[in-house]
Amino acid sequence: MIIREKVADCIQSMDSAMLSMPVDISRIVLMAGSRDASADELARFLSDHRPLSARIVKIANSPCFGRCGDIDSMSSAIIQTGFREIAAIALCSSIFTVLSSAGTCSNVEQDRIWKHDIGAGLSVNLVAKSAHAPIDGFSMLTGLLHDIGKIVFHLCLPDEYQEVLQCHQADPVSLHRVERELLGIDHGEAAYQLLTRWNFPDFVCMPVRYHHDLARCPFEYFRQAMILHLADYLALRAGIGYSGNINPEINAGVMATMGLSETRVDELTEQVEAMSLQADYFFEALKDGTKRDH
Ligand SMILES: [Fe+2]
Ligand SMILES: [Fe+2]
């Protein structure tokens, strides 16, 4: 069986892990992407799922969103943090639980990737602001989920992916290039396969798919993919978590398009470094809540 089919089969088998979850992820995806869903509807739905809603309120109430405990309900979390931001936390948290219970990937390995994802998720707004782009909770979600394709590889191709990581140690290129060379598919595409199967909208799936392949990104998703590309790079440089990539690359076109000097990239890196404790807090809240889900 070729690798691509093996990944597709494995992703299909993850549906059972998702279906056994107490929370219906596709309902949240649907509500988050719908123009008609109301804040009340989302608040009611999430409040019915106690461990998840407690985790969301904890994260919304934290320094991750510049707060220190003034939110006391899901409705107030949505009003003060934002509809899509809360949906993004709910989706990230639910997928964290699904993938943590889906297989054999070492917890340490997954944890490091999730911390890096959270670092990129928190950096996206900073980068969007710097690019004068609109800020949206779904932009944060692209960061929070951008490298879940690596977790898919760890779960679906444990031996093959160890070989990729070993070759990467000796190869002075970015990890996604070694994935493409040895597996014929990179982690952006693996994440895309998972997210489209779970009906995530294109404005989440496409930037994730193309965050290392900007040249092939369709025009309407290019700006978001570029912002994600830079947020990923900054989280790597800032050393938040560990994504397995020891040779991070920044696309020269991104620097030119966004008018970024090396000095500006250094400044942004420092600002992301300063978010390290927020990323730790977010991660611990996810992890703690997941223990209580089981
Ligand atoms: Fe990546
Ligand atoms: Fe990354």
Helix, strand, or coil (residue 128): helix
Distance in Å, CA 42 to ligand 1 centroid: 30
Q: How far apart are CA 148 and CA 208, in angstroms?
A: 9
Taking CA atoms, 268 is separated from 134, 174, 232, in Å, by: 18, 21, 12
- Report CA(233)–ligand 2 centroid distance (Å): 7
**Is residue 254 within 8 Å of 128, Cβ to Cβ?**
no
Nearest to 148 by CA among 223, 95, 200: 95
pLDDT one-digit tens code per residue, 183-236: 999 999 999 999 999 999 999 999 999 999 999 999 999 999 999 999 999 999
Q: In this structure, what token pair is assigned to residue 22? A: 């107490």
Q: Which ligand is nearest to the CA of 187?
A: 1
Say how far apart CA 213 and CA 187 lie, in whole Å. Answer: 11
Q: How far, in Å, from the CA of 40 to the mean position of ligand 1?
A: 35
Residue 173 CA to residue 231 CA, distance in Å, equals: 19
Region of poorest pLDDT, from 32-36, 240-244, 248-252:
32-36
pLDDT score at 172: 86
Residue 40 CA to ligand 2 center (angstroms) comes to 34
pTM of the full structure: 0.94
pLDDT of 148: 96
- Whether the predicted pLDDT of 99 surpasses 80: yes
- 294 CA from centroid of ligand 1 (Å): 29
Of the listed ligands, the closest to the CA of 174 is 1
Taking the CA of 176 as reference, the closest ligand is 1
Find the 145 Cα to ligand 1 centroid distance in Å: 10
Q: Average pLDDT over the chain, rounded to whole?
A: 91
DSSP 80-106: HH-HHHHHHHHHHHHHHHHHHTSS---
Compute the distance from residue 3 Cα to the ligand 2 centre, in Å: 22
> Within the chain, what is the greatest distance between any pair of CA atoms?
54
CA of 263 to the centre of ligand 1 (A): 23
1: confidence class by pLDDT, cuts 50, 70, 90: low
Distance of CA 205 to the CA centre of its chain: 11
Separation of CA 249 and ligand 2 centre (Å): 11
Residues with Cβ within 8 Å of residue 174, at least 6 apart in sequence: 212, 245, 247, 248, 249
Report how far ligand 2's centroid is from the alpha carbon of 69 (Å).
Answer: 30
pLDDT confidence of 87, banded at 50, 70, 90? very high
List of domains in the chain: 3-293 (1.10.3210.10)
Comparing C-alpha atoms, which of 131, 39, 41 is closest to residue 85?
39
**Has residue 289 got a pLDDT over 90?**
no
Distance in Å, CA 259 to ligand 2 centroid: 22
Question: Residue 232 Cα, ligand 1 centroid: separation in angstroms?
Answer: 7
